[in-house]
């Protein structure tokens, strides 16, 4: 049997109260959209998108190890990402900051006691591949971990195709810098004319050490440079995590398993800096909870899911820090 392991060592548990927010930006109808000033350059308006056809995947959840099937379906404009528990009378849980319930080692949504765990890799793929609207039918409590990356999701999306809808796309445009901290973890977002992430991780491990990467997120480079990066965990910490009910489905097939001075996986890393790339993958997935693409530059230092969702909720609570626009300029 494959060895089990933990998930995302950089994620510190944070109080739920710091994450929940009732503020959620909605894509505005055309009449209310804030039009970007043309004088700053060529305005490139774009439309909301969805997938052209259903796609799905089956597997097991990383933490709860439950068998699960997901079917992703096209959705009309202004839907955003909505999870639908087909095993619970089609109960719907929108992917939104106000429904974030847990942020330890994964991002878990909950509404009226109905949970959807470990949503970040699928949401990352949808956002990274430029899909604005989708219904995600799921028949269990946790999204399948697949190979531990967003690569299989990105491939399924590309194969299904992405189609434009007859509604303008809203962007969450950051207007001023917002920063959150927790001990030595820092994360900020500042105004930018694209979605850009600068990420630094720092682990006392010979295969990781200090890794830094900066990338402007676009559909093409997301699939090639970010989506294939796998999650990772330390073998030494497995038992404690498993005793707290996590990482029950972790194996060498769905994560990089780090020993004290190497790794257990027989195959090589997919990238020399696969670890920081996966962190960027997680940041994209957690910020996808905004419900629309973000125009802003994220800087993350030793961040985890708690800080990612805290940054988003702190940003959204500050009504002077963002506006919804309908184009890049
Ligand atoms: Zn992850």
Model confidence pLDDT, tens digit, residues 86-133: 999 999 999 999 999 988 889 999 999 999 999 999 999 999 999 999
C-alpha separations of 43 from 29, 174, 323 in Å: 18, 17, 17
Whole-number average pLDDT of the chain: 87
List helix spans (H) across the chain. Answer: 120-128, 151-160, 219-221, 238-243, 274-287, 305-317
Ligand 1 center to residue 171 CA distance, Å?
24
What pLDDT score was predicted for residue 327? 63
Distance 9 CA to ligand 1 centre (A): 10
Question: What pLDDT does 104 receive?
Answer: 83
Beta-carbon neighbours within 5 Å of ion ligand 1: 231, 282
The residue annotated as part of the active site, out of 102, 121, 297, 305, is 305
Gap from CA of 74 to ligand 1 centroid (Å): 24
8 A C-beta contact, residue 168 and residue 77: no
How far is the centre of ligand 1, averaged over its atoms, from the C-alpha of 192 (Å)? 25
- Please list the residues that pair with 135 across neighbouring strands: 73, 82
State the pairing for strand pair 185-190/178-182: antiparallel
Query: Which residue shows structure tokens 């190890």?
Result: 65
- The helix/strand count (H/E) of the chain reads as 6, 21
Task: Give SS3 for 123.
Answer: helix
> How many A from CA of 288 to the centre of ligand 1?
13
Residues above pLDDT 70, as percent of the chain? 85
For ligand 1, the distance from its centroid to the CA atom of residue 6, given in whole angstroms, is 11
**How many angstroms separate the CA atoms of 207 and 212, rounded?**
14
Confidence band (pLDDT; 50, 70, 90) for 170? very high
* Dihedral in degrees, nearest 10, Cα atoms 277, 280, 286, 289: -120
pLDDT mean over 163-177: 95
> Tokens representing 312?
């988003």
> CB–CB of 2/252 below 8 Å?
yes
Residue 194 has a CB neighbour count (10 Å cut-off) of 14
Q: Is 205 a catalytic residue?
A: no
Confirm if 46 and 327 have CB atoms less than 8 A apart. Answer: yes
Lowest mean pLDDT among 181-190, 230-239, 267-276: 230-239
Residue that wins the pLDDT comparison between 207 and 36: 207
The 10s digit of each residue's pLDDT in 10-20 is 333 333 333 34
Residue 5 has pLDDT above 50, yes or no: no
pLDDT given at position 288? 97
């Amino acid at each position: 049997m494959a060895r089990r392991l933990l998930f995302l060592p950089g994620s510190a548990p944070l109080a739920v109260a710091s994450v929940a927010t009732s503020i959620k930006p909605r894509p505005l109808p055309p009449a209310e959209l804030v039009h970007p000033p043309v004088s700053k350059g060529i305005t490139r308006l774009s439309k909301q998108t969805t997938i052209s056809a259903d796609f799905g995947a089956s597997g097991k959840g990383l933490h709860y190890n439950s068998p699960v099937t997901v079917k992703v379906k096209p959705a009309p404009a202004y839907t955003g990402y909505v999870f639908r528990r087909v095993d619970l009378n089609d109960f719907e849980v929108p992917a939104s900051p106000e429904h974030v319930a847990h942020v330890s080692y994964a991002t878990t949504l909950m509404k009226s006691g109905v949970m959807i765990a470990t949503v970040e890799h699928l949401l990352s793929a949808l956002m990274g591949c430029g899909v604005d609207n989708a219904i995600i039918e799921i028949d269990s409590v946790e999204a399948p971990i697949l190979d531990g990356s967003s690569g299989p999701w990105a491939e399924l999306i590309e194969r299904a195709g992405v189609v434009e809808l007859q509604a303008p796309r809203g962007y969450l445009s950051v207007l001023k810098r917002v920063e959150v901290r927790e001990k030595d973890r820092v994360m900020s977002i500042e105004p930018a004319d694209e979605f850009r992430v600068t990420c630094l991780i720092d682990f006392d491990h010979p295969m990781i050490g200090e890794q830094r990467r900066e990338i402007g997120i676009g559909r093409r480079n997301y699939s090639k440079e970010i989506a294939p990066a796998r999650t990772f965990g330390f073998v030494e910490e497995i038992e404690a995590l498993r005793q707290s009910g996590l990482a029950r489905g972790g194996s060498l097939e769905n994560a990089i398993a780090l020993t004290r001075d190497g790794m257990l996986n027989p195959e090589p890393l997919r990238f020399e800096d696969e670890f920081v790339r996966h962190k960027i993958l997680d940041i994209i997935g957690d910020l996808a909870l905004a419900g629309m693409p973000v125009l802003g530059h994220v800087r993350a230092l030793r961040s985890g899911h708690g800080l990612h969702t805290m940054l988003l909720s702190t940003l959204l609570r500050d009504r002077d820090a963002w506006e919804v626009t309908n184009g890049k300029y």
